[in-house]
Amino acid sequence: MIARLMTLLLALGLALPALPALAQTGPLRIVIEEGVIEPLPFAAPDFVAENAEAQQYAREISRVIASDLAGTGLFREIPGDAFISQITSFDSPVQYADWKAINAQALVTGAVSVSGNRLVVKFRLFDVFSEAPLGEGLQFGGTTGAWRRVAHKVADQVYSRITGEGGYFDSRVVYVAETGPKDQRQKRLAIMDYDGANVQYLTDAASIVLAPRFSPTGDRVLYTSYESGFPRIYLMDVASAGRRALEDQPGTMSFAPRFAPDGRTVVFSLTQGGNTDLYSLNLSTGARRRLTSAPSIETAPSFSPDGRLIVFESDRSGTQQLYIMPAGGGEARRISFGQGRYGTPVWSPRGDLIAFTKQHKGRFHIGVMRTDGSEERLLTASFLDEGPAWSPNGRVIMFSRETPGAAGSSALYSVDITGRNLKRVPVRGGASDPAWSPLLP
């Protein structure tokens, strides 16, 4: 009896630890909050040329795509000599194991065919480790002359499918091309693809031109020119390079023009009697309206994407700072409060951030802040950085960087809004004052 009782006790004692175990049901749950940030390795084997005329384009198109992706800093290309299998036909099945073996996590395949001056490019994107396509295959057509644009469109598709962002590769940048020493700078307006290809000049170097800005559809450019002997704002049609002055009152100077998102109004700075204020101009009616009346300098205005607000710089507090006011003028609210001077504010096309130039202790920085001035982050630092311009997806900023000294010159740089991937835009010769078009249709 005692022995049985003891055995019972022993058995129960052994069973006790199991009881809590019985209480656990359901799947194992874990929470993952940390990951890595590294460029995603991808492979872009040469696109297949589906006919003889496509030969000269097929490889070049895949090179442009790879270079767009790798240039973002978010992707890393696996070189072709590491490939195990090759893509010889657009429709043959993908040997995922071969791509996994070289750690290509994304695979872009494509094919090109050309007839006459018409080019057709098809592509597919694969998530290698999930062994499945990522989205549908797509096809783009264009003229052979615009083959780079077609490549950029494919790259935009790949980029957005993986990141979830809008693309920005099929876009153009207008800027000031510079030559000559600092005391005799020759400046002319130029336009190019965002990656530095296809440069075209829009003006000659006869007079100083400054700070061009695109219209919301990218078909016109506002800029400042000294061709009259005084800084005045002009509107130019990109396709024809035809232009007209928007302001020509004697005794005044105008500069720093920007389009409103509706493309019908221009906001700019007008200087009269030594005082600079903001004005807006209706392009169709020519009606001018004064937006600020202060003895301080008010300049560098930029609209919010919804057109309701304008951010600008003013030294009304004693130093250059950033302010926001309603688009029709009115009370201005200061948003910059850090140490140093703030200028050239530009509202992001996503509406969430404002980029700016900051000067502090002899250094210049490009930075971003939220539209209420919080979360200020400086992305660059150098002798002279200024004039940020946003990519169409609000993810990349391009700006001018000038080097010091008599031999100094200006170049265009771009940086991701996280501060990563700072690099020079490959433009031949000096360049400054970039502005970025929207994504081309």
Of residues 43-72, those binding other proteins (CB under 8 A): none
**What track of x and - describes contact with other proteins for positions 140 through 179 (by CB under 8 A)?**
----------------------xxxx--------------
Smaller CB distance to other proteins: residue 49 or 154?
Answer: 154
CA nearest to 131, candidates 102, 105, 155, 160? 105
Task: Look up residue 172 and give its two tokens.
Answer: 């153009």
DSSP secondary structure string for all residues of 425-439: ---SSEEEEEEEPPP
Decide: is 19 part of the binding site for other proteins (CB under 8 A): yes
> Which positions from 89 through 108 interact with other proteins, judged by CB under 8 A?
100, 105
**Cβ–Cβ under 8 Å, residues 135 and 123:** no
Q: Which of 253, 283, 294, 440 binds other proteins (CB under 8 A)?
A: 253
Residues 402-421 within binding reach of other proteins (CB under 8 A)? 402, 404-406, 408, 415, 418-420
**Binding flags for other proteins, 314-333, as an x/- string (CB under 8 A):** -x---xx-------------
Question: Residues in the chain, how many?
Answer: 441
DSSP string across 210-270: EEEEE-TTSSEEEEEE-TTSS-EEEEEETTT--EEES---TTEEEEEEEE-TTSSEEEEEE
The footprint of other proteins on this chain (CB under 8 A) covers a number of residues equal to: 105
Closest CA to 430 of 171, 182, 212: 182
Binding to other proteins (CB under 8 A): which residues in 194-233?
A: 208, 210-211, 229-231
Give the span between the Cα atoms of 225 and 240, in whole angstroms: 18
**Interface residue with other proteins, options 2, 3, 52, 239 (CB under 8 A):** 2
> Which of 4, 35, 240, 339 forms a contact with other proteins (CB under 8 A)?
35
Select the span of 51-59, 83-91, 181-189, 197-205 touching other proteins (CB under 8 A).
Answer: 181-189
Q: Dihedral, CA atoms, 304, 309, 315, 318, nearest 10 degrees?
A: -120
Contact pick of 79, 116, 250, 286 for other proteins (by CB under 8 A): 250
Please name the residue that has the structure tokens 């050239």: 344
**Pick from 280, 380, 391, 409: which binds other proteins (CB under 8 A)?**
380
Interaction between residue 5 and other proteins (CB under 8 A)? yes
Cβ-based nearer residue to other proteins, 129 or 201: 129
**Beta carbons of 259 and 304 less than 8 angstroms apart:** no
Residues 255-284 that bind other proteins (CB under 8 A): 255-256, 269, 271, 273-276
For 187, the 3-state DSSP assignment is strand
Q: What is the 8-class DSSP label of residue 185? A: -
Nearest distance from residue 114's CB to other proteins, in Å?
32
CA quadruple 358, 410, 182, 276: dihedral positive or negative? negative
